[in-house]
Amino acid sequence: MQFVPDRDEQVCLFQAELGRALDLTPALMTGMLAIAEARGVAPGSRDQADRIRNFIRAEAWTDAALALVEFGLPQWKLRCITYEDGEWFCSLGRRLPLPAWLDDSVTVTHPVMPLAILTAFVEACAVTSCSTQPARTVPSVQPSANGVVCCDNFF
How many CA atoms lie within 13 Å of 106's alpha carbon, on the beta-carbon side?
Answer: 21
Q: 91 phi and psi, to 5 degrees?
A: -130, 125
Higher pLDDT, 85 or 152: 85
Q: Give the rounded percent of residues in the chain with a pLDDT score beyond 90.
A: 25
Stated pTM of the model = 0.72
Separation between Cα atoms, residue 32 and residue 111, nearest integer Å? 19
- The rounded Cα 143 to chain-centroid distance in angstroms is 38
- Contact, 129 vs 35, CB < 8 A? no
- Contact, 90 vs 79, CB < 8 A? no
Mean of pLDDT values over 23-41? 82
Q: Which among 96, 101, 46, 91 has a CA at the least distance from the CA of 71?
A: 46
Listed by start position, the domains of the chain span 7-130
State residue 89's pLDDT score. Answer: 94
Confidence of residue 75 (pLDDT cuts 50, 70, 90): confident
State residue 132's pLDDT score. Answer: 46
Q: How does the average pLDDT of the chain come out, rounded?
A: 78
Q: In this model, does residue 54 exceed pLDDT 80? A: yes
pLDDT digits 0-9 by tens, 90-144: 999 887 777 767 777 888 998 999 999 999 998 888 887 654 444 445 555 555 5
pLDDT digits 0-9 by tens, 1-19: 344 456 566 667 777 777 7
